[in-house]
Structure formats: structure tokens, C-alpha cells
Structure 1
Amino acid sequence: MSESVANRAVVFYNNKSLPTILSEELNLDTCYSSSEVVIKVHAAALNPVDFLLQGLAYSWLSGRGPKCFSRDYSGEVVKVGANVTDYKVGDKVAGMFKHLYGKQGTLCDYLILDPVKQPAITKIANAEHTEYDDYVVNASWPLVFGTAYQGLTNYGQKLGPNSKILVIGASTSVSNALVQIAKNHLKVGTVVGICSKNSFDYNKKLGYDYLAAYDEGSVVNNVKEIMKKNLNNEKFDLIFDSVGNSDFFGCINDVLKHKSHNSQYVSVAGDKKLNYSNPRMWDSLPGLESLKRYGPFRKYNYNLFLLQSDSAYMKLGHKMISEKQYMPAIDSVYNFDDYAEAFKRINSNRSKGKVVIQIN
């Protein structure tokens, strides 16, 4: 006798439709191939990119079918294909499920994936030293941790005790992961963060050596003052932008080392902060000034990148959480039926850390 279950998912159809719960019957005995596993999802984290994609989901671009939210997940393996060797029924796992306008996301009861094609998956890390259970903690970190790790390592950087990093948007979840990876894993000597004055105490505890306020005078002058007083006017090896900013391009040669040193300007957001809850397509396109940064006459390396699914950062995140070297910031946790409140929280721009939804 086949085993059928209800598989609920929070979906949207286009940029005009409201999110809704879609429930479909799923046959657990026939829904997966020999190379796939079925994961009963226990928790999923929300990311601003979900709402950016929803806002850009014109029917002519994304199709008319249902599209599921979220990429981060944690849960339990309940079915395993005959050709899968690394996972077995009962394994507790976490990961980042890569999709674009897919009917299957992670804000659902069951997730079906091929671990070879979706390699950002690992056994969940023990997080007993937090107020949250393991499922909540492990759903909160894969995307932001992976983004931070690849921003630190993707371009051949050899960062270490003599390196200096400037982080634009020190309070974001990605930057939260970045400073902990930089300090606790790569042993980077100096990390300078840019944030609001009110966030100084919070960010100091994460490991930032110096902080510059963006809401008190000129942020460029504030950073240059730190360089003068504390860094012997030495320039940065890496500038990492997690919010969307262009303040430093007018004086980039004063703050970032020449590209011959393999210095990097790495951004995950472009030149300006996007309105994730109400995005416009033309705002997400690169401008002429951005395109110049890829030209042959630039004196610095510029990279605007998206996270690639990889097992390397999942293994490192598992290790660092287990060894208490990294703890993801969690803002709040909601039940599945309260997803609308969770959406409001992340779109408020007031969350300090990840917004997680418990599904089972």
C-alpha cells in the first residue's frame, strides 16, 4: 500500500499575487528517483532575495505556475534512492536548495533533491549552546555563510594575520558570518565594519576590530580616519559590500590596494540598496558606471557575485558551529501558519539576524 501525504508549500504565482498555502498530495513511495532523497522539512529561513524575485516575477518572465519560497532548510531524511550512498533514512540534514522560480522550494513539508546536483547539504551541526533547537539553528545559516565564505575565498585571496578587510553593512546576516569566518577560521588580522552608531556594541562582540558609523558624518572620512589612526594608513586587501553601496568608488585607490596585490572589491548587492519588498526591474540592472569596472583600465578587481551551491562551505559551517566558532544570528522564529507575519518581519528591515519558520 502506497504512502501518501499532504505536502503544503507557501507559494506565489506572479508579482501581483499574494503568497498563499498550496497543498498537494505526495506519494512518498514514487515521488523520488534512485539518485534522490526525500527530506521532511522541519525549518526554513527567509532571505531578502525571495522577495526580490517575487517582485520581479512578471508572468512573461517567470511563467504562470506556482513558485515556492526559500532556499535554506533543515529536516530529516525519510526516503533514500537506491543509488544514494552518503545519506540514509533518519539522517538529520541541513542545506541550501538552489532554485529560480521553482515549484519546489524549502518553505514546504517535503523537499526532494539529488545530493549530487544540490551539493550544499550536510548533517546538521549540534547547537546545544543556543536557546534554539538544532533544526532552527541549522536552517538559518547555509545561504549567508556560503555567501560570506565564497566572498572571502572565491577570487584567489590569501587572507590571514596581515590582511585587512572593510565590510560595508556590518550588521547583515552575511556580514555576521563573514567576520566570524575571517576571525575564527582565516585568522584575519583586522576587520573594519560600517554600521549605524547604535549597532557598535552588537558588532564589537562579533569580532570587528574597528567600526565606522554611516549615520554620523561622512562614512568615507570615518573609514579614512580609522585607517590613519589605527592602520598606519595601510589600505584594505578586501572590501566586502553586503548591502549595495557606491560611496568608495570615487576614492577607491585611497582605500583599496592595487589589483596587482590581488585585492578585491566584492559585492553581493551592486551599487545601491534595493527595495526588496517593492523592487523595480531597472533598479536591479547594472548601470554604465558598474560596467566600467569590468573594463581593461581599472586599477582594482571588482566582483558582483551570486552564491554557487558547494559542499565546501557546508562542511566548514558544520565544523565551526560544532566547535562554537560560529553562531548564526537569529532574529525570530514563526510557525508555518504564521508565515505572513514572518514575511512582514523580514520586510520591515528591522530584523537583527535570520527569520526562521518552523514547519514541523
Structure 2
Amino acid sequence: MIPYGRQSVDQADIDAVVDVLKSDWLTQGPTLERFENAMAERCEAGFGVAVCNATAALHIACLAAGLGPGDWLWTSPNTFLASANCGRYCGADVDFVDIDPLTWNLDTAALARKLDAAEFAGRLPKVLVAVAFSGQSCDMHAIGELARRYGFVVIEDASHAVGARYAGRPVGCGEFADMTVFSFHPVKIVTTGEGGLVLTNRPELAEHLRRLRSHGMTRDAAQMDEASHGPWYYQQIELGFNYRLTDLQAALGLSQLNKLDAFLARRRELAARYQTLLADLPLSLPTSQPGAESAWHLYVVRLQTERLALSHRQVFEGLRAAGIGVNVHYIPVHLQPYYRELGFKAGDFPEAEAYYAQAISLPLYPAMTDAQQDEVVDQLRRLLGETARAAN
């Protein structure tokens, strides 16, 4: 089976982890700080705060933004559950903005219309989670302008977009979002096994994020409500969590970061090959918006189902049966039972639902060979060629 994605771990990565195993620090130590600083430097950001996964990163980013009961978080329905769930963890209400039919990212025109109506109704969002789907940023310039006009916090969920660029700057630089979240899950661009990170340029947010990831504790006497009892003393000054990333994971992340440019180059090469090899098939291929350079975490195509005799599911299962490990990203979040119980229903976000009915993620990862990619294309061509002929 050719998987849709997989990690690339080499001996240098293994040696980096072993070095930490032989050191005095296994949990939070100097390697973690080096990893945070390296990510911040790579992305031209002020501060990095690493945590155990990107869901935790989204959660504490929302808390640091002051999100709570009575507030609204908006995001895209075409995303993983965590982009919406982070708002619910804070006790906030969640709503969605439909996607652009070309980029499959949050539609800024739809966002502008919804904000105008929400202002009239007194229900403006406190936080917008802008998802960089498949590795490509949303129209962050337009989102930033709307944020300044309507006064909401922008968190870019760039879980797919380590190494991506927008408007000539690295994603995560802080020019277009208050906070940016990355994921280091094994199928993402670089991995720490599991892991996530929040980038920000605001020192008070970074301090708050660090406190939230570690039980809400501080050793800073200026933040305490009484004099220190001694060098051992700490206080819990708010409710926090154990969301810490370990030095073991940070060592893997640092080693992986050394290979980021090579990973990105191969992903972009494979994406370009797909664009050429699939051009004549009954598919809608991914498009790039001006100024955005994708990290190509995913390569998603949409079946032009009106030209095919087989259904979306039949094509998917036909590829799986042929040893091609395709996947679907994503089931629209508002159609999940939990969110339907909150009042959402089919038809609420028609672009996201139309996308879901046609989308298939094809294999794409740095170690994928040209021969494996050719096999993916051959099997897809065989299936779609047969169905297209049958449809005629």
C-alpha cells in the first residue's frame, strides 16, 4: 500500500533522540528551548511555545486570546475537528464560514458578509481560526483588514503549513495573525512524534502560553500574591494544563528542522508532477492564490462526478483496492453529530459540503518515488478512464 502520507526519519534523527536519552534532561530542558527558538527564527517570529500536540496549542492560544463563555469562535468547516473544538474547550460558541470554491480555504468574501450581519446582530466573533488547508494560507491580508475593522483575534491554524510562505514572508511571522499554530504529527511536514507549537510576536501572550501549558504555575515573584517562601516556591495563579513537550520530542524536531528545505522541495516537486500528470483527467486540481507558496502537506483532487459513472466512494474504494492509500480531508465539521446537536445541519455550508462529496487526498510525502507516484496516477487513470467511458 502506498500511504497518503508518512514520516521521514533517518539516522541523524535517531542519534539526536539518543543523545537526549543519555543527557540529564528528558522532559523540559535546554533542547526544548533550542527547538522553540529555532522554529521562531525560521518563521521570523518573536516567540515560540511548544506543546504536546497542535490541539493543545489551539486550546491555549484561544485561552490566551481571552476566549470564554459568551464569546464566539469562527473557523472553516473544511478542517480537522480541533480547529473548532478548541473554542468549545473554552466554553465559547462556535460558528463556521464557508470555503472558497477554488482554494478550499475559508472564503474571505463570505467572511465579510457574515461579519457585517454579525455586527448588526451583536454577535461578532472574538477569535477567528484561519486554517491553512493542505499547506496554503488563506487570504491573510483580507482577514487582517477585517480583524482590524471588527476587532477579533486571528489565530492561523497552520498545522499543514510548516515552511509555507505568504506575501513573501514565512507563515508564522506574525504579520498576518496574532498567533500561529503548527503541528508536528508524523504525517505533517516535520515531526516530533506528536507535538505542536504556538508562535507570536507579543511577549505577554508568550508568557501566558507558557504558563497555561504547565498547570498555570509561575515562579515569578511579581505575579504572586504573597512573598516567596524560598527558592523552591511557585504559585498556581490560574487553571492550566500539562501540555508540555519533552526534550526527547524537541530533539527529533530540531533534527527534522535541518531537513525542512529538502522536505519542502520534494513535496513541491511531487505536487508539480501531479499537476502535469493529472491535467487531462476529469478532476479539479488544487489552485494557488496569488502570493501564497504552499508547503503541500496534502495533494487533494476533486472528482468531476458529473462526468463519471462511479461514485466518490467507488473511486475511493477502487484506489484502496489497488494499493493506493488515499484519504479524504475533511468531513465538514458542522456535519459531525456533536455539532449537529448544537443546531448545525446539512445545507448550512454548501461549498464545504460539495467539496466533501468530491475530494480525495492522493499520496504525497518526501520519500515517495517517481515510480510510486506514477503508479498512483496509472491506477487513477485506469479507474477514471473506465468510468468516463462508461458515462459516455
For the aligned pair, the TM-score class normalised by the smaller chain equals 0.3 to 0.5
Task: Indicate the structure whose relative CO is greater, using CA pairs within 8 Å and at least 6 residues apart.
Answer: 2
Q: Judging by fraction of residues, say which structure has more helix.
A: 2
Of structures 1 and 2, the larger Rg is shown by 2
TM-score, normalised to structure 2's length?
0.31
TM-score, normalised to structure 1's length?
0.32
Q: Judging by fraction of residues, say which structure has more strand.
A: 1
